[in-house]
């Protein structure tokens, strides 16, 4: 009888250990696209691990990264790219897209007032100007419906709320995959008024992928950031030239999300410090990406 009890205890212990290992593995290892064999994925994964824990990231931080080489139309990095994340101000890309879709079909006019609000929304990340366009189009549900009806390939993006006055927008969602898709399609001019959108993304603004990095000042950047206590991200096109002067643009998207920070009781450091730590990580990853692509095209 005693041996039977011991045997059952051993089986339970083995099962519990197996469950523990499984749960831990879902936290530690990133989801990757097995079709991508670029060593850049491993480089980014190892770099991010160096910041865990206590060196800028905590166990509750989750990351997504995508790198797409526009010269060769090939994806070099896919890490958790299809995971929906809080969009924060990154949702403004899709609001602008739906606005230009309506302009293209004659339902809205591209007026001076609208141009003014576009610059404020993209360059200065104005929440009031974003809400202006959401109202102009017909509200969050209408913006979302028009986006899905006309651009169904943005699978993880959801527009369900105006941006609150305090800026704490948590319900709108997007993904690294959708952001990458946005810039790839814009570069290929398959989105309405792609050149006009590109103009607004090129205006000097804040970023986490170029400023305060080792990337040369000669490059051009077309980007939009997203920042709220719980999500910091940047996505855009880095336009560089190779040794022969030929354009070698690529899309870089990086998102760092901590859903626990949507609860004010879980905010143990200031918003500025929290953002600063993670912005530093995005910049270091962006440097690695630039170095990798620069080395490819220097021969």
The answer to the question of residue 185 being in a domain is: yes
Q: What is the pLDDT of residues 75-91, one digit of tens each?
A: 999 999 999 999 999 99
In a domain, 16, yes or no: no
Q: How far is it, in rounded angstroms, from Cα 51 to Cα 25?
A: 18
Could you tell me the two tokens for 146?
């028009």
Q: What is the C-alpha to C-alpha distance for residues 164 and 131, in angstroms, rounded to an integer?
A: 9
Is 60 part of a structural domain of the chain? yes
CA atoms within 13 A on the CB side of 65: 25
How far apart CA 184 and CA 179 sit, in angstroms, is: 9
Q: How far apart are CA 39 and CA 67, in angstroms?
A: 12
For residue 68, tell me if it sits in a domain. yes
pTM given for the model = 0.88
**Nearest-5° angle of CA 76, CA 240, CA 202?**
100
Residue 32: the pLDDT is 66
Domain limits at 199? 32-296
Please calculate the CA angle 195-134-186 and round it to the nearest 5 degrees.
20
Q: Could you tell me if residue 88 is inside a domain? A: yes
DSSP per-residue codes, 230-250: TEEEEEEEEEEE-TTS-EEEE
Share of the chain above pLDDT 70, in %: 88
Residue 119 lies in a domain: yes
Tell me the pLDDT tens digit for each residue of 238-247.
999 999 999 9
Task: Please check whether residue 17 lies inside any domain of the structure.
Answer: no
Within a domain: 25: no
pLDDT at res. 20: 39
The Cβ-side half-sphere exposure at 112, using a 13 Å CA radius, reads 0
Distances (CA, A) of 80 to 15, 138, 176, 207, 269: 28, 33, 8, 22, 26
pLDDT digits (tens, 9 = 90+) for 159-175: 999 999 999 999 999 99
Return the sign of the alpha-carbon dihedral for residues 138, 140, 142, 144.
Answer: positive
The mean pLDDT value for 130-153 works out to 98
C-alpha 168/C-alpha 219 separation (Å) is 33
Lowest mean pLDDT among 104-113, 248-257, 258-267: 258-267
Instruction: Report the domain count for the chain.
Output: 1
Answer for the pair 190, 202: CB distance below 8 angstroms, yes or no. no
CATH code (residue 274)? 3.40.710.10
pLDDT one-digit tens code per residue, 262-297: 987 777 789 999 999 999 999 999 999 999 999 999
């Amino acid at each position: 009888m005693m041996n039977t009890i011991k045997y059952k205890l051993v089986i339970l212990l083995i099962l519990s250990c197996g469950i523990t290992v499984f749960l831990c593995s879902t936290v530690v290892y990133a989801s990757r696209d097995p079709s991508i064999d670029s060593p850049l994925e491993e480089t980014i994964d190892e770099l991010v691990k160096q910041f865990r824990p206590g060196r800028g990231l905590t166990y509750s931080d989750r990351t997504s990264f995508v790198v797409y080489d526009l010269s060769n139309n090939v994806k070099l990095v896919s890490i958790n790219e299809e995971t929906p994340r809080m969009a924060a101000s990154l949702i403004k890309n899709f609001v602008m897209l739906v606005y230009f879709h309506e302009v293209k079909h004659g339902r809205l006019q591209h007026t001076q007032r609208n141009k003014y609000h576009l610059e404020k929304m993209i360059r200065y990340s104005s929440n009031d100007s974003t809400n202006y366009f959401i109202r102009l189009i017909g509200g969050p549900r209408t913006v979302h419906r028009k986006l899905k009806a006309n651009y169904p390939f943005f699978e993880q993006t959801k527009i369900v709320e105006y941006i609150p006055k305090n800026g704490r927008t948590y319900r709108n969602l997007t993904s690294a995959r959708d952001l990458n898709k946005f810039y790839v399609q814009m570069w290929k001019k398959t989105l309405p008024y792609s050149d006009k959108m590109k103009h607004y993304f090129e205006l000097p603004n804040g970023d986490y992928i170029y400023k305060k990095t080792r990337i040369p000042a000669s490059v051009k950047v077309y980007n939009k950031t997203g920042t709220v206590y719980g999500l910091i991200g940047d996505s855009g096109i880095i336009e560089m030239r190779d040794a022969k002067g030929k354009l070698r643009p690529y899309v870089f998207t990086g998102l760092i999300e901590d859903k626990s920070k949507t609860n004010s009781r879980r905010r143990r450091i200031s918003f500025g410090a929290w953002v600063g730590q993670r912005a530093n990580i995005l910049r270091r990853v962006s440097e690695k990406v630039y170095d990798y692509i620069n080395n490819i095209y220097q021969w």
